Structure 1
Amino acid sequence: MNGSFGVTCNWAKIGLLLLLLSILGCNTLKKVGEDELLLTKNTILINDEKVTDSEVKGLISQKPNSSVLGYPLKLNLYNLAKENPDSSFQDWLHKKEKREKRLNNLLSQKQVNRLSESFLIKGYSEFLKRIGEPPVIIDTSETNKSLSKLKSYYNTKGYFNNTGAYEIVNGKRKKRAQIEYNITLNSPYIVDTIQKNITSPELDSIYDQANRQSFVKQGEQFDLEKFTMERERLTTLFRNSGVYNFQESSINYTILRDTTIASDDQLMDVQLNIKKFRSTNDSTDTNMPYKVARHKQINIYADYDINGATDTLKSVQHENYNIYYSGKLRYRPKALTDAIFFEKDSIYRDLDRIRTYRQITNLNTFKYPNIDFVPDSTQTKLETNIYLAAKPKYSLNLNFDVTHSNIQQVGTAFSASVITRNVFGGAETLNVSARGSIGLLSDASLSDETFTSELGGDINITFPRIWLPFSTERIIPYYMLPQSRLSVGTNFQRNIGLDKQSLNSILSYNWSPTTRLKNNIELLNVEFVRNVNTNNFYNVYRNTFSNLDEIADDFQDDPEYSSYFEPIQEEGEDPRLSIPTGANNFVRNVLNDSIPVSPEDKELVNSIEERRIRLTENNLIFATNFTHTKNSKSGINDLDFYQYRIKLESAGGMLSLLTNVIPFNKNPNGQNLVFSVPYSQYVKTEFDYIRHWSIGGGQVIAFRSFSGLAIPYGNSDNVPFVRSYFAGGSNDNRAWNAYELGPGSTDNINDFNEANLKLAMNLEYRFPIAGDVKGALFADAGNIWNVFDNETNPEAVFSGFSSLGDIALGTGLGLRYDFTYFVFRLDVGFKTYNPAKVGSNRWFDGYSFKQAVFNIGINYPF
């Protein structure tokens, strides 16, 4: 009965949806005139073959209305707007004082209501027009422009004799049509000989040495894009070969035949022209041949003041660099010269100029530098001046946040940091920060107190070089922006979980071989975590306690175990194990067989006790890791790019090597102890890949995949909680809350579920809705499992390809608002495939807004 009712309800919903879409479909042609045609599609045929190239399709001037999964949302929103709102509203809108007088003295209430209604209709109509799109009506003048663009484009590819036409094809439905563009290319022109006319002998010599790298080659089809690329290549070549003032405008090409005359001969000769340098500094233009210049002297003006005099400055020379300063030189000379890539008597290279700008900016001590090149009368010697203006010695940053979590109803967080620049005279940066928060506890049973609190601080110092006893400049030169970071931090939590205290220290090195590649080595990452309030375990991990208390229900009426239970406060209430004494005693007696339970219950109690010990024990992690990242994104507006991150980490390995040298103390489990704490030992690897495809009109397909595995060994049989994986949350599988999904096919058995293997994939379709409002449809898949550790529950353990059936699938939709500097995000996720269910119940169980998971986030999840 219930099943048939559910099916009936689903068919009713589907029917209602189809009816709604039908009504809106009729609305599509609302503002299309009788003699007009709505453009539904553009097709481009080149030599009778359909073209899908986005660059070619982008040449079309008139494009169909945008759609979301084939539905013209913006067009239908525009059509909902009223065509001609009440004209009397114009006086109401533009003559405020007169309108108010009329309303107060002359108009009846009915007239006021009518004008108010007109106001609402007008505002609503303007809003719909603003966020919508007017119908794209086929305009033959625009079609002819598109055809001309297509022909011109193929002219640039060497098809100078191409021909074209277009055809308007009426659609099957009324007042709809598509346009079909047909281009016939004919035979292309081929570059035959390449002549050169280079006015500067020095440029001619440089060109001949690098001629093999030319993009324009004899025997290849003419392509204007290659000529453009060649101009850019030559400009870069000359500027990196001593010609500091070379101008790209000095390069042009001449085609040595008339391509408008038809001929069987499709060969064409081209001539490369490189003119003289043209200067307009004087009243009369002067032209001179380009020459190779060298750095005659290099001057560094430290603490430069644009309004200050330079003739009274003191100077010091360091490795052929002249450093000018006033008062006392605040920087070690080597710290300044290491950031300069020009060398005395060397030829000028534009690459050195770019690297100098990057490295000086990377020091975080100076404002953006100014570099000036002053040539002598022969144009072959340069006086190179580098002007450095210091940033303030100190700066203060303050932050205040309001927070909410599953532990805090509401909280306030405050942080402050003081940045000190050039601490030791070598452009080092010292950052001292402190943070604190206080919040109202969400559940009074978690603690005897009402409020939570957290206090922490960090000291971070950055060196603009690799800080090691030996030089690494040959392997990691300064143009790779090397940095060394040393940080020490601590944090204290109260009434948050088990009241953790942590201490961490990191020594890391990072450098960027190119603008797209980044490397980071954490040579030493030490973290000590101490759980202060371990007796609060069963208050925090409620699901774990519920499972234990359910087993204890069989013994609640036995007087022998009455001391394990809390006194009953209300009549009819079931006794509950007391925390922590009763729960701990019950577990101990079950495991030593003093309390008889079934083998299944004993196994569950043993699992609970192992988890309690793991999550309440202190952790000491000595780790080393390496991270390599590549990002092909060329700018903030680049919507078509990829990014990947590879991370390798090893913990406890160095300490393990010392076991034969240092006699470590051991605990009863045989684990080596450091400061009375067993150190963690594991290896970990991660791979994260992101790919974005731009599909036009601001629409993007975004994909992410992640895989991570941490394997404990030696001194550990599990991975520390702080280094394990979890699933769910606003940046993961959005149909589950954080820590709620997995491991494997288990059904949220713990309050904070985690494991040491994770697989995840995300696919998201992003599209514009109106202005800064964006939309998204997404599908998130993945899960976590235990592997190679001490977990015994088969449902939580990854056992091969069969475990891939435990991959959860969440789907949903989202809204985003772009504030330019950040994006506010709201996502709604539905459990589409839940591996914790059985059989067919795994699919679409609880697929409703009532059981959906709502996520709020800042910026895109990937």
Structure 2
Amino acid sequence: MDIRTLKYIRLFLTFGSISFAISCSNTKYLKEGEMLYTGAEVKIENDSISKKDKKNLKSELENSLTPKPNSSFIGLRPKLFFYNIAKEPEKEKGFSYWLKYKLGEKPVLLGDVDREFNKDIIVNYSENKGYFNAQATYDTISKNKKAKVIYILKPGNQYRISNVKFQKDSTLINEEMLKLTDKTLLKLGDPFDLDMIKSERERIDNQLKQKGFYYFHPDNIIVQADSTVSKNHQVELNVKLKENTPELAKQQFTIDKVVVFPNYNIKDVKDGKYTVPMNSDSLSRYSHDDIYIIDPEQKFKPRIFDRAMYFKKGDLYNRADHNLTLNRLINLGVFKFVKNEFVVSDSVNHKFDAYYLLTPRQIQSLRLEALGRTNSANYAGSEVNLNWTHRNFFRGAEQFKASVYGAFDVQVGGPKDAKNLFRAGANAELSIPRIVAPFRFDSSSAFVPRTNISLGYEFQNRTEYYTLNTFTGSFGYLWKENVRKEHDLKVLDITYVTPANVTPLYNSISENSDALRRVVQRQLIFGPTYSYTYTNTMLPKSNTIYYKGTLDLAGNLTGLLSGANVKEGKEKSIFSVPFSQYAKIENDFRFYHKFGEKTSLATRFIGGIAYPYGNSENIPFSKQFFSGGSNSIRAFRARTLGPGSFDPRTIQEGFYFDQSGDVKLELNAEYRANLYKFLNVAVFADAGNIWLVNDDPQRPGAKFSSDFMSEIAVGAGIGLRLDFSILILRLDLAMPLRIPYYEKGDRWALNKINFGDSSWRRDNLILNIAIGYPF
């Protein structure tokens, strides 16, 4: 037997001894007569039930039993162990209290289990699922101060629906109910299921709410089950209106007046009534839609309510317009609380007034932010932002945001002579809650469409190298079809970059590099951009997706009309600045799978290409793709990977330069698990690279080719996530498994891993510190 095998045996025995000691220690603290409850099991005795149905019923029943036993991990109960070893604290704070009641867990005893109550739960649940005349018993098995409860269920045969009848009468509401029968959830041959019956009542209620029956309730419907009219374990269902249904619930209501209080404050309410009179004589009428607005100070233009309101005088009430109006008022962004009330104004003609009580948010806010940061390129820095927001700039719920900022990054290690960075700038953005255009844009979405206008300037100084002045501006529209689909169209997106103070030192460094020279060239980029986002990650599903596609078309129409062709010497300029012409598309697809409440798998694929043509031979540096870093391939430092098999070690020593490309492929996978409350762990793997579409003599191997698969970089690692609700602090430790700039055939680095070598650790273990998840 070799030494390695002996080590494994010793490790196994040690682990077994510790497990046994912890297991035994959890019961030695019990008092005389107490027994630790280890859980329950349900056994189903019925050979006529299929294995699948029996398995599902067993799982559902066991999940409904109470209480739950102490949490366990591979047969151990570490939380209970910490509870037992910790002394009773004198105060409800301090380490002892945290260890015993926060990290630890109080023992669940057999005496805490109401076995008769659980037996009744099993019987009731079974009958609600169609297993009529179910019977249950239980038995308790105990050993070594531990006890387990076994419940035995004899469910009988499951009853199925043989017929569904909707009772008829002469009332208006019954007539509307009968129109809904073709979409019933109660299908012939399906098992009797109380949950499905409840869903059917809610479906009918929702549909009646669409027809004006505002005061109707699902409890006004009764579904009678008769198992005596049919044989072979069948049941007949009779759906009807309860005899004691209030008359108000049977009536269709229409809208009389629509009244808006845009400055509502709960302090103005006395004895349940608003202090401002609500009769029509005291209200100022606005618009042809008869909307009344109580706004003595005229803080808001009336037209914003005309756009948000979907209820008009004389409309039949329906829940869809009710919810749509509330959602649009909230999405204006200027109201903190939105409350809605309906008050009967004419009981004979079945009319009510709709009141909207709106509490404004703080109209103006000023926020100062200061932060520190580090990155994997051996830079540390700080940034200060001053932000001013006005949420009702022109009294039409327009949001105006202005900010000024300053930032610096200094070298704290790594290559010698890397130069420090300084940035300062200002931005202004106006967001108008409507589409400002020469055409009509109607949206029935719950989300208010917006017109966005932005302007910005940034001064960037890289000491001893160059200074850049960047001006930006955009005009476009943002709208959502629904909660899942969003469109962002910038009709015009302009970037103008002009260099200043390019030093002889930088000129000498960039003399033999076209890529470096392009960084300090004047650039004019303009054109439309469009992005489409689809996501259902907000839904409670085990499988969800996120997709964002972006299209960027720069200088296309101008290049076409001017006949620009840089390859034929026909480079065109605007104000003596050559404009960029290219097409760029990027796709970001993510898939999330939940294994359970505490474990999940997240994957992401990014694919993009930017193609220069006409007036450009190359993509502007700021519009290219980058790879590496905390949100990309984490085993490589930020923006140092690629392009292709280009070896970054050939770059002049002491000069750090972002590597960029025109093509990007990236695939990420991350397994996430919750360890304890705010503490989460992840195991991840990343793969991908960037490439150029044209040859670059200064960067051999950078062009995308049919051999691109051999140039894919691979990295893997582990990470911790500290989820504090308001922010998530992420620490990822990664190492490269495949390095694309090594010799072909020797790019896999698995045989080079040596954790015991300090120089290997220094060169290959990359720690990424970031805020939020990478995807």
For the aligned pair, the TM-score class normalised by the smaller chain equals 0.7 to 0.9
Cα distance per residue 1:796-854 (max 9 Å; x no partner): 33323x42243333222222222222212222112233334452752263453554111
| 2:644 equivalent to 1:744 | yes
State which of 660, 664, 671 in structure 2 corresponds to 1:765.
671
Partner of 2:581: 681
Q: How many corresponding residue pairs?
A: 735
Cross-structure match for 1:297: 257
Q: CA distance change for structure 1 residues 327 and 165 in 2, over 3 Å: closer, same or farther?
A: closer
Q: Which of 745, 750, 772 lines up with 1:843 in the alignment?
A: 750
Letter of the structure 1 residue corresponding to residue 439 of structure 2 = F
Instruction: Say if 1:835 and 1:461 are closer, same or farther in 2 by CA, change over 3 A.
Output: same
Gaps of 5+ in 1: 1-7, 97-118, 279-285, 537-578, 588-607
Match of 1:653? 556
Change (3 A) 1:400 1:781: closer
Point out the more displaced range, 805-814 or 57-66: 57-66
- Residue 290 of structure 1 deviates from its aligned partner by 1.4
**Aligned runs of 1:9-408 on 2, under 5 Å?**
21-31=15-25, 33=27, 47-48=50-51, 51=55, 58-59=63-64, 71=74, 75-76=77-78, 79=81, 83=85, 94=90, 123=95, 127=99, 130-131=102-103, 152-160=124-132, 187-197=157-167, 201-257=171-227, 264-275=231-242, 288-304=248-264, 307=268, 308-310=275-277, 315-327=284-296, 329-375=298-344, 376-378=346-348, 380-405=350-375
CA drift of 1:62 comes to: 7.4
Q: Secondary structure at the match of 2:518?
A: helix
Q: For the Cα contact (< 8 Å) 1:699–1:765, is it kept in 2?
A: yes
Q: Aligned partners of 2:256 and 2:382: how far apart in 1?
A: 59
Contact 1:420 1:430 (C-alpha < 8 Å) held by counterparts: yes
Alpha-carbon spacing, 1:159–1:83, altered in 2? closer, same or farther (3 Å)? same
AA of the residue aligned to 2:503: N
| Cα distance in structure 2, aligned partners of 1:810 and 1:159 | 54
Quickly say closer, same or farther: Cα 1:210–1:638, change in 2 above 3 A. closer
Q: Determine the structure 1 residue equivalent to 2:272.
A: none
Q: 1:61: Cα distance to partner?
A: 5.2
Q: Secondary structure at the match of 1:727?
A: coil
CA distance in 1, matches of 2:313, 2:36: 70
Aligned residue type for 1:229: S
Tell me the CA shift for residue 354 of structure 1: 0.9
Deviation track 1:666-695 (CA, whole Å, cap 9, x = no partner) reads 799543222333322222222223333333
Tell me whether 1:427 sits opposite 2:397 in the alignment: yes
Question: Are residues 491 and 313 of structure 1, via their aligned partners in 2, closer, same or farther at CA, if it must alter by over 3 Å?
Answer: farther
Q: Helix, strand or coil for the counterpart of 1:435?
A: strand
Q: Map 1:625-640 onto structure 2 (within 5 A).
A: 625-634=529-538
Mapped partners of 2:24, 2:388: distance in 1 = 62
> Letter of the aligned partner of 1:825 in structure 2?
R
CA distance in structure 1 between the aligned counterparts of 2:147 and 2:522, rounded to whole angstroms:
71
Q: Structure 1 residues 796, 145: closer, same or farther in 2, change over 3 A?
A: farther
- 2:489 matched to which residue of 1? 521
Aligned 8 A contact 2:565 2:614 in 1: no
Alpha-carbon distance, 1:269 to partner: 1.3
Rounded to whole Å, the distance in 1 between the matches of 2:255 and 2:673 is 53
Q: Tell me by how many angstroms 1:319 deviates.
A: 1.3
SS at match of 1:646: strand
User: Which residue of the partner structure matches residue 491 of structure 1?
Assistant: 458
**Counterparts of residues 582-731 of structure 1 (less than 5 Å):** 583=509, 608-634=512-538, 641-659=544-562, 670-731=570-631
Q: State the partner residue of 1:418.
A: 388
Cα deviation code 1:518-544 (max 9, x no counterpart): 2221222111223334437xxxxxxxx
| Structure of larger gyration radius | 1
1:127 deviates by 2.1
The answer to whether the 8 A contact 1:199-1:289 is kept is no
* Structure 2 CA distance for aligned equivalents of residues 168 and 310 of structure 1: 68
- 2:765 maps to 1:852: yes
Task: Name the aligned partner's letter for residue 695 of structure 1.
Answer: F
Whichever residue aligns with residue 155 of structure 1, its letter is: E
CA 1:38/1:841 → structure 2, altered by over 3 Å: closer, same or farther?
farther
Task: Quickly say closer, same or farther: Cα 1:123–1:385, change in 2 above 3 A.
Answer: closer
Pair 811,411 (structure 1): closer, same or farther in 2 beyond 3 Å: closer
Structure whose residues are more often strand by fraction: 2
**Conserved? CA contact 1:667–1:673, under 8 Å:** no
CA distance in 2, matches of 1:169, 1:79: 23
Quote the Cα distance in structure 1 between the aligned partners of 2:457 and 2:86.
Answer: 66
Q: 1:149 to 1:796 in 2, by over 3 A?
A: farther
- How far 1:126 moved relative to its partner? 6.3
Q: Distance in 2 between matches of 1:67 and 1:759?
A: 42
Q: Residues 180-219 of structure 1, C-alpha deviation per residue, up to 9 Å, x if partnerless?
A: 9887765432222223357882221212222211111334
Query: Is contact 1:298–1:383 with CA below 8 Å preserved after alignment?
Result: yes
- Over the matched positions of the two proteins, sequence identity in percent amounts to 24
Consecutive unaligned residues of structure 2, counting only runs of 5 or more, are 29-33, 269-274, 652-656, 756-760
Q: Distance in 2 between matches of 1:298 and 1:359?
A: 16
- 1:580-635 superposed Cα distances (whole Å, 9 cap, x missing partner): 46556xx5xxxxxxxxxxxxxxxxxxxx5222223332332223222222222347
Question: What amino acid maps onto 1:209 in structure 2?
Answer: K
Which whole-Å CA distance do the structure 1 matches of 2:98 and 2:327 have between them? 48
* 1:754 has 2:660 as partner: yes
Matched-pair contact (CA < 8 Å) for 2:83–2:106:
no
Work out the CA distance in 2 between the residues paired with 1:714 and 1:612.
22
- Is 1:820 the counterpart of 2:725? The answer is yes
2: CA distance, partners of 1:63 / 1:616:
66
Q: Closer, same or farther in 2 for the Cα pair 1:649/1:199, shift >3 Å?
A: farther
One-letter code aligned to 1:420: H
Structure 2 counterpart of 1:658, which letter?
L
> How big is each residue's C-alpha offset from its partner over 1:120-159, in whole Å with a ceiling of 9 and x where there is no partner?
xx95796277435688899996888777656654533333
Q: Which residue identity does 2:450 align to in structure 1?
A: Q
- Give the whole-Å Cα distance in 1 for the aligned partners of 2:350 and 2:382: 64
**Normalised TM-score (structure 1):** 0.74
Question: Counterpart of 2:617 in structure 1: which amino acid?
Answer: D
**Partners of 1:438 and 1:338 in 2: CA distance:** 45
CA distance in 2, matches of 1:237, 1:681: 54
Residue 803 (structure 1) aligns with: 708
In structure 1, distance between residues paired with 2:532 and 2:151: 47
The one-letter code matched in structure 2 to 1:694 is K
In 1, the alpha carbon distance for the partners of 2:69 and 2:645 equals: 47
Deviation for aligned residue 1:56: 6.7
Q: Which is further off, 313-322 or 181-190?
A: 181-190
1:72-131 deviation digits (Å, cap 9, x = unpaired): 6x734754777476xxxx7xx7499xxxxxxxxxxxxxxxxxxxxxx9xx9579627743
**Which residue of structure 2 aligns with residue 562 of structure 1?**
none
Q: 1:472 aligns with which of 418, 438, 441?
A: 441
Q: 2:31 is matched with which residue?
A: none
Contact 2:91 2:97 in 1 (8 A): no
CA distance in 1, matches of 2:719, 2:169: 61
Alpha-carbon contact 1:756-1:784 (below 8 Å) kept: no
Counterpart in the other structure of 1:784:
689
Asked if the contact 2:566–2:614 (Cα under 8 Å) also holds between the matched residues in 1, the reply is no
Three-state SS of the structure 2 residue aligned to 1:396 is: strand
- How many angstroms apart in 2 are the aligned matches of 1:526 and 1:411? 29
Q: Kindly indicate whether the alpha-carbon contact (under 8 Å) linking 1:47 and 1:185 is maintained by their aligned counterparts in 2.
A: no
Q: Residue type matched to 1:832 in 2?
A: L
